[in-house]
Amino acid sequence: MEFRHLGRSGLMVSEISYGNWITHGSQVEEDAARECVRAALDEGITTFDTADVYAGTKAEEVLGRALKGVRRESLEIFTKVYWPTGAGPNDRGLSRKHITESVHGSLRRLQTDYVDLYQAHRFDNETPLEETLKTFDDLVRQGKVLYVGVSEWTADQIAQALKIADEMGFDRLVSNQPQYSMLWRVIEAEVVPLSEKEGLSQIVWSPIAQGVLTGKYLPGQPPPAGSRATDPAGGNFISRMLNDDVLTRVQNLKPIAADLGLSMAQLAVAWVLQNPNVASAIIGATKPEQVRDNVKASGVKLDAEVLKKIDDVLGPVVERDPAKTVSPEKRP
Ligand SMILES: NC(=O)c1ccc[n+]([C@@H]2O[C@H](COP(=O)([O-])OP(=O)(O)OC[C@H]3O[C@@H](n4cnc5c(N)ncnc54)[C@H](OP(=O)(O)O)[C@@H]3O)[C@@H](O)[C@H]2O)c1
């Protein structure tokens, strides 16, 4: 496993990290969750990503149990706040009240005294940015959070936050967590250039497009049994990528992967890691074999000719519009 700096900070993260959205506390049983975490640790993954909202807070509990007994100093644990964790009007968003209550819940469920990175899961259009950033800064002073970042923020929102942090002397954001894969490149035009200039990294989610880039979803055929597309929670999210044009083009990537001696999942993970602004690719898994397959992308170099062949195969199905990075107008 290779390691990269998180933004301009001193923190190192494993360039492949493990995330538990859709899986822990939901799609997979606790035994399988524990086996995946064990496989991740055995393969040298030290960075784990979760969120208060995953599986209605159960995912953090499962991860906390799975990591119990592992030396805390050998792990980087990331979590997030914003999406609703309860029915009340203050059980969501980035207010001082919700952030403070949510981080306490996360620490309890994860069975840890601090999280390494605390991320605003979306931009909250209903809370003054100063309030959020001051609260994040307070959590850093209290030692409950070591670094702060965001997820799915636009370049403009990140720039606003950096300006306030610099004016007020608050801790600066070190990272953004966007969706990024061969199929979804919306950060490249604006978010990445700003982040490079300002010292933030991307920690990218769904690098294999939730399984689509493994090539296991075939055009014109029902999804394979047990895959995310058949899961009641996950099926909804993956469905927009399951159209025959995308799936046919993905099948045409198979010779490129085969020529390089890579699995399709390894090619997809390696692809996001070619971007130097990416500190880590967060992989999900329902089975330990998937973790063991995907981690082999660490350290793989893809040359310009390979990258061009991939672009030629995928053609117009690649999404590049920066306007696709959106947070809800009102809190959900
Ligand atoms: N910040 C955000 O808003 C946000 C949003 C989404 C995710 N995330 C983070 O990113 C993490 C990863 O997201 P993701 O789970 O969508 O990532 P992903 O790595 O693109 O997809 C993972 C899924 O693909 C399938 N898969 C993985 N490896 C495979 C292999 N070798 N062969 C066949 N199938 C394979 C598995 O599903 P099946 O076996 O069920 O098919 C697995 O659960 C999340 O856990 C979370 O931490 C963040």
CA angle (203 as vertex; 201, 204 as ends), nearest 5: 130
pTM reported for the whole predicted model: 0.97
CA of 171 to the centre of ligand 1 (A): 30
Per the DSSP assignment, residues forming a β-bridge with 145 are: 115
Interacting residues of 62 by C-beta distance below 8 A, sequence separation 6+ = 20, 24, 25, 30, 33, 55
pLDDT digits (tens, 9 = 90+) for 13-41: 999 999 999 988 888 899 999 999 999 99
pLDDT digits (tens, 9 = 90+) for 115-173: 999 999 999 999 999 999 999 999 999 999 999 999 999 999 999 999 999 999 999 99
pLDDT digits (tens, 9 = 90+) for 188-213: 999 999 999 999 999 999 999 999 99
Cα gap 91→109, rounded to integer Å = 16
- Ligand 1 binding pocket includes 19 (Cβ within 6 Å): yes
Atom number, ligand 1, closest to the C-alpha of residue 27: 40
CA of 72 to the centre of ligand 1 (A): 24
Residue 113 pLDDT > 90, yes or no? yes
Maximum separation of any 2 CA atoms in the chain, in Å: 56
- Ligand 1 binding pocket includes 26 (Cβ within 6 Å): no
Q: Compute, in degrees rounded to 10, the torsion defined by CA atoms 61, 67, 72, 73.
A: -130
Main-chain dihedrals φ then ψ at residue 107, nearest 5 degrees: -60, -40
pLDDT digits (tens, 9 = 90+) for 38-97: 999 999 999 999 999 999 999 999 999 999 999 999 999 999 999 999 999 999 999 999
Q: How far apart, in Å, are the Cα atoms of 298 and each of 159, 210, 234, 259?
A: 31, 19, 26, 18
The active-site residue, picked from 54, 147, 180, 217, is 54
Say what the pLDDT of residue 56 is: 95
Residue nearest to atom 21 of ligand 1 (CA): 210
Q: Ligand 1 pocket: which of 29, 83, 205 to mutate (most atoms <8 Å of CB)? A: 205
Residue 234 pLDDT > 90, yes or no? no
Say what the pLDDT of residue 195 is: 98
| b/e burial code for range 118-145 (CB count within 10 A of at least 16 → b) | bbbbbbbeebebeebbbbbbbbbeeebb
pLDDT digits (tens, 9 = 90+) for 306-332: 999 999 999 999 999 999 999 999 989
Confidence band, pLDDT 50/70/90 cuts, at residue 235: confident
Cα gap 141→143, rounded to integer Å = 5
180 is catalytic: no
- Ligand 1 binding pocket includes 266 (Cβ within 6 Å): no
CA of 280 to the centre of ligand 1 (A): 14
Residue 233 pLDDT > 90, yes or no? no
Residue 236 pLDDT > 90, yes or no? no
- Ligand 1 binding pocket includes 78 (Cβ within 6 Å): no
Rounded to a whole number of angstroms, the CA Rg of the chain reads 19
Under 8 Å between Cβ of 50 and 82: no
Say what the pLDDT of residue 218 is: 97
Query: What single DSSP character describes residue 319?
Result: B
Under 8 Å between Cβ of 177 and 150: yes
- Ligand 1 binding pocket includes 228 (Cβ within 6 Å): yes
Cβ neighbours, 10 Å, residue 160? 15
State CA 103 to chain mean position distance: 18
- Ligand 1 binding pocket includes 209 (Cβ within 6 Å): yes
Instruction: Write the secondary structure of 298-314 as one string of H (helix), E (strand) and C (coil).
Output: CCCCCCHHHHHHHHHHH
